[in-house]
Amino acid sequence: MKYYAPKGLYDIKPEDMPYWHAVEREVRSTMPLYGYEEIRTPIMEKTEVFARGVGEETDVVSKEMYTFEDKGGRSMTLRPENTASVVRAYLEHKFYGKEELSKWYYLGPMFRYESPQKGRSRQFHQYGAEAIGSSDPSLDAEMISLSTDLLRSLGLEEVGLTLNSIGCPEDRNNYVNQLVEYLEPEKDRLCNDCRARLDTNPLRILDCKEESCQKVVENGPEITDYLCSECQDHFDTVKGYLNQLGLDYQLDPKLVRGLDYYTKTVFEVFSSDLGAQDALVGGGRYDGLVELFGGDPTPAVGFAGGIERLVLLLEELERVEMKKNGLDIYLATLDEETKQTGMELVQELRNGGIRAEIDYLDKSLQGQLGYADRYGAEITAILGPRELTEGEITLRDMETGDQTTVSLDEFRSEITNRLDSES
């Protein structure tokens, strides 16, 4: 074997599709219930969209982007996430002048140059929602409830929700100063990356995965002690709505999330069944992002969920009914002439919404019947030269071997009747 998919990129094989379809179906049916319309942005943007939107010092931008120069000498990047692109599209098409609140959802591939492991790949798929135009805490609560509702509709009951508020930029500045003051004397216990982060982006130290760093951070200051009264009120109101909706959550004052654009509410939904990569969904408010892109200050909130992890979980829990793409009828033919009529009949059946197949492998009649059996055809029809001359076709019951003949004129209605009576 000479060619393999690039490291960290995977084929989604036909046998996995029922799970993917189940997730995609759920996303497409649940999002509109909450008033979200689909938006599709390109899978690549000018690099500055992410550099600016996500933040130069984040891991995603500094280490994980697939960036290249196109033939026109522009620096392009495969999207590592979708929020920055959605905000770019919001401003580009001046949605702020057209609607008071834009509620959008998306589904699609994202790319990050990360170390591949179970539940973490370099091309992965996210579904997500963004609501741009309101700072109301009820929208934060709605976002959270939408993200957990979707998982619950897929049959996942055992999901946890962690919640935090990282306040406004002023709160964060105050907090970061305290954090740096606390971490400076502990510098030697931090990993190399975090030592550098102390100068560039100290907040990121909170979500470092190294145990040594986590230990250091454990006894450090907590951002929730630095919230101004407006951010505290906002956070309290979000919690109030969640209580009202009966949604359980755990407060985690160390949850800051890996992207720079978040303000106030941040949350994650996880499943303990997933092991190390346990986050299914991450989201939060990003009140400063539209302004950062040159728009008027416009509050917004959103989330993104990973489909691969969801599919892994659904496969483990066997929550999706595995139904092969069934076959209604297999039409066996015996020579070139019957094949020609057979092609026409199969086409007619397909036009009528019936899943029909014919022989593409030059098999004998026996071989064709075996194929129909293996692919679970509900009905098998045989069109031989004798039948063709008589204007008839034979229908064979694959279980009993009983055969009946119907005229070609009645063939389609007979098939439809049989399929209807079986379903």
Residues in contact with ligand AMP by the rule CB under 6 A: 81, 112, 114, 119-121, 124, 126, 258, 279-282, 304-306, 308-309
**8 A C-beta contact, residue 375 and residue 330:** yes
Length of the chain: 423
Supply the minimum distance, in Å, between the C-beta of residue 305 and ligand AMP: 6
Nearer to ligand AMP, 235 or 270 (CB): 270
Residue nearer to ligand AMP on the CB measure, 119 or 137: 119
Q: Of the two residues 221 and 305, which places its CB atom closer to ligand AMP in the complex?
A: 305
- Minimal distance in Å, beta carbon 271 to ligand AMP? 10
Point out which residues pair with 307 in neighbouring strands: none
Closer residue to ligand AMP (CB): 220 or 258: 258
Strand partners, 111: 123
CB of 222 to ligand AMP, least distance (A): 21
Distance CA 298, CA 264 (A): 14
Q: What six digits make up the tokens of 259?
A: 């992207």
Closest approach, Cβ 422 to ligand AMP, in A, equals: 41
Query: Which stretches does DSSP call E strand in 84-212?
Result: 102-111, 123-132, 159-165
Q: Which is nearer to ligand AMP, 34 or 113 (CB)?
A: 113
Query: Percent helix, strand and coil across the chain, each rounded to 5?
Result: 45, 20, 35
Q: What amino acid is encoded at 238 in this protein? A: V
Which residue is closest to ligand AMP by CB? 306
Which residue, 35 or 116, is less far from ligand AMP as judged by CB?
116
Q: Got the DSSP string for 235-280? A: HHHHHHHHHHTT---EE-TT---S-TT-EEEEEEEEEGGGTTS-EE
Least separation, in Å, of the C-beta of 342 and ligand AMP?
45
Beta bridge partners of 267: 163, 283
Report in angstroms how near the CB of residue 128 gets to ligand AMP at its nearest: 8
- Closest to ligand AMP by CB, 31 vs 281, is 281
**In the complex, least distance from residue 59 CB atom to ligand AMP, rounded to whole angstroms:** 9
Shortest reach from residue 147's CB to ligand AMP, in Å = 10
Beta carbon nearer to ligand AMP, 114 or 149: 114
Residue 271's DSSP bridge partners are 159
Name, in order, each residue with C-beta under 8 angstroms of 213's C-beta and a sequence gap of 6 or more. 189, 190, 191, 194, 205
Question: Angle 137-153/229-244 helices, nearest 10 degrees?
Answer: 40
